[in-house]
Amino acid sequence: MVTAYDAPGARVASEAGVDMILVGDSVGMVVLGHSDTMQVTIPDMVHHVKAVANARPDAVILADMPWISFHVSPEDTVRNAAELIRAGAQCVKMEGGSKRLPMMKALIDAEIPVMSHLGLTPQSFNMMGGFKIQGREKEAVEHLVAEAKAMEEGGAFAVLIEGVPNIVGTLVTDALSIPTIGIGAGVNCDGQVLVYHDVIGLENRFKPKFVRRFGSAYEDQVAAISNYAKEVREGIFPSVDEMYVAKDGLLEALGLYGSSVDE
């Protein structure tokens, strides 16, 4: 699984053969320039889910429920999730454990499949005191495994587990019969997810330990735009091959034939 936020990203992910595209609320940080995900709203998510869906990717589209869109009431949660489904998602992801069970049940009753997101949940940034690795102590590990089981029993079709030691990813995966998707949760999860801009190397400022850059998109794009600007300034772009030529007789009609004006 990889995130995508727009049609070109969805086309790339689809052609690359990923199974699932997550339209993550990470859009707030990697695309919209916010410093956390709490600024992201349902209208923001709808906008980006539509863009991804418009590419008709050959992958399941999973939409993140942004902060506060599933905290107020089950009714509110269903209405918000429905907007994401109508925008083109096939399922939604919800951060947090058993206290979200009534909301998850309401979504499943409304025929909306739910992935649960446990461990380091970025929407809990303020409560956690920052982006902090979870499951460091025995009690915390036991609590996480219990929460994962509760989400499975509550009907989640998968559990995404973020920012925990490898052993915790392993224990959660072993405890569940539904798939786990890890991000910074070690190698034993059933699947992995990364943020698109991290995978292609477009995000080059900050590299968490769990990220591997599989490309150098930032440097490649700077080089491409620099070459473009240079060739415009030097009059090399556009070349003859990149210009439209006037049809026969137009220069005469304009009274320009034989003048210094280029065709």
Which positions are annotated as active-site residues?
Answer: 162
169 is written with which tokens? 């990813």
Nearest to 30 by CA among 214, 215, 192, 195: 195
Closer residue to ligand KIV, CB minimum distance, 50 or 256: 50
Nearest to 122 by CA among 140, 95, 141, 147: 95
Report in angstroms how near the CB of residue 263 gets to ligand KIV at its nearest: 52
CA 103 to CA 245: how far, in whole Å? 62
Alpha-carbon 142 to chain mean position: 29
Report in angstroms how near the CB of residue 78 gets to ligand KIV at its nearest: 21
Tell me the residue nearest to ligand KIV as measured from the CB.
24
Closer residue to ligand KIV, CB minimum distance, 213 or 246: 213
Nearest to 148 by CA among 101, 90, 92, 184: 101
Report in angstroms how near the CB of residue 180 gets to ligand KIV at its nearest: 12
Q: Which residues are at the interface with ligand KIV (CB under 6 A)? A: 3, 22, 24-26, 64, 160, 162, 183, 193, 195
Q: Are 21 and 13 in contact (CB under 8 A)?
A: yes
Closer residue to ligand KIV, CB minimum distance, 152 or 197: 197
